[in-house]
Amino acid sequence: MLSNKIADIISARVCNLCGGNILPEKLIALSISELRKTGLSLAKAKYIHGIAQLCCDAPNFFTALANKTDNDVIKELKKAAWRRVVVGKNVFNFCFGQAGHIAI
């Protein structure tokens, strides 16, 4: 698990790699290796890449979750997992806890 300070540093590095605006399209254009150079672990780089791909493939995926029950959200996330998108608690917090940096 990352401290908030380290998460902020890594977020800033990823933001710089994305030209100042983190968008799913920009994230999937980066290689896993480039994401790793920001300080992300291999697993987190893959998770972020996968989430970005999901956002490009299904732009309304996360918006649609807002209107679902907890159980339905879990079902939808499990369905997304078959697309090789593994949304772990730490990665979800890292990506979406930094809402000011991530445009989805």
Q: Where are the domains of the chain?
A: 4-96
Is the pLDDT at 90 greater than 50? The verdict is no
Is the pLDDT at 37 greater than 90? The verdict is yes
Cα–Cα distance for residue pair 42/75, rounded to 1 Å: 26
The total number of residues shown for the chain amounts to 104
What tens digit of pLDDT does each residue of 7-17 get? Answer: 889 999 999 99
pTM given for the model: 0.68
Domain range 4-96, its CATH number among 1.20.1260.10, 1.10.340.30, 1.10.10.10, 3.40.1740.10: 1.10.340.30
Structure-token pair, residue 19: 């030209």
Cα–Cα distance for residue pair 48/37, rounded to 1 Å: 14
Spatial CA neighbour of 95 closest among 61, 58, 60, 49? 49
